[in-house]
Amino acid sequence: MTAPTGAGADDSGAAGSPRFVKYTFFKVAREWRSLPEPEKESARSEAAELLAGSPGGLRPEVFSLVGIRGDVDFMLLCDSSTVEPFQEMVSALLATTLGRFLDVPYSYLAMTRPSHYTGSHKHPGQEGEGPRQPMGAKYLFVYPFIKKRSWYGLPFTDRQKIMGEHFRIGHKYPEIKINTGYSFGLDDQEFVLAFEGDDPAEFLDLVEELRGTEASKYTELETPIFTCVRTSPRSLLRLLA
- Each residue of 78-92: pLDDT tens digit? 999 999 999 999 999
CB-based contact 220:143 (threshold 8 Å): no
Rounded to two decimals, the pTM is: 0.87
CA distances 150 to 39, 146, 147, 159, 185, Å, are: 55, 12, 8, 11, 18
- Each residue of 90-130: pLDDT tens digit? 999 999 999 999 999 999 999 998 877 765 444 454 444 44
Instruction: Please tell me the total count of domains within the chain.
Output: 1
Q: For residue 180, give its domain range.
A: 1-241
> Residue 219 maps to which CATH number?
3.30.70.1030
- Each residue of 25-42: pLDDT tens digit? 999 999 999 999 999 999
Helix (H) or strand (E) holding 48: helix 37-52
- Residues ≥6 apart with Cβ < 8 Å to 64: 73, 74, 228, 229, 231, 235, 236, 239
